[in-house]
Amino acid sequence: MNHLHFIRNEKGLTLVELMIVMVLSLLLMAAVYYTYLLQNKSGQVQFQVAATQQDLRAVMEMISLDVQHAGMDPTFTNSIQGIVPVDSGLTALRMRMDLLPLPTSTTPMGDGLTTATNEDITYRLIGNNLQRVDNNGGITQVLAHNVTNLNFIYRGRQVDGTIYDINPTGAGNTLTSDEADAVRYVRI
């Protein structure tokens, strides 16, 4: 009959073998920890990028609504003001808007005011912060952080429907009065 004999080594591990296992385990744990740190940092960067992109989407919506309302006078009694020349150019956009009349006291949320007010807004990049400035109220809001570039491209439309770029020729690359009057589209 064949018997299998198991070799029994009752000596245990030597100190050298134990040290080798510990060094290999330490190297393996260091590699896992380093991988965790890289993934964690990458996740934080991706979160910051996503937050910035979301902020910019909301800001673009706000700017586009303001651009659409620039110079709008729902009563057709005032002259259209729109884009302010000299203060608007490649890196800043200043617009004047007429607001709708405020609700009267007969409306649920009214406060008795019935006159329209003018709104004077500037969008600009200061440092890495995209700002919205209420020039009448003196209020500056930071709309987005970590913005590296802000450019405005102005376009006009000829009588035949052809769209053309308006290149600001005023001092400091700002729009002249004639250029501001010709603006029909703004690309941000």
Percent of the chain at pLDDT > 90 equals 20
pTM value surpassing 0.75: no
Say yes or no to pLDDT of 113 above 50.
no
Per-residue pLDDT tens over the stretch 37-90: 999 999 999 998 898 888 889 888 988 888 877 766 555 555 456 788 888 888
pLDDT at site 109:
42
Average pLDDT along the chain: 80
The mean pLDDT of 106-116, rounded to a whole number, is 43
pLDDT at 119: 80
In the chain, what is the straight-line distance between the N-terminal and C-terminal CA atoms, in Å?
91
Nearest to 152 by CA among 70, 75, 73, 79: 70
The 3 state secondary structure assigned to 119-136 is EEEEEEEECCEEEEEECC
Cα 69 to Cα 160: distance, rounded to the nearest angstrom: 25
The residue with greater pLDDT, 2 or 166, is 166
pLDDT at 73: 55
User: Which candidate, 71, 73, 49, 27, places its Cα nearest to that of 144?
Assistant: 49
- Mean pLDDT to the nearest integer, 140-144: 90
CA distances from 184 to 24, 71, 129, 157, 171 (A): 69, 11, 27, 7, 21
- pLDDT at position 102: 47
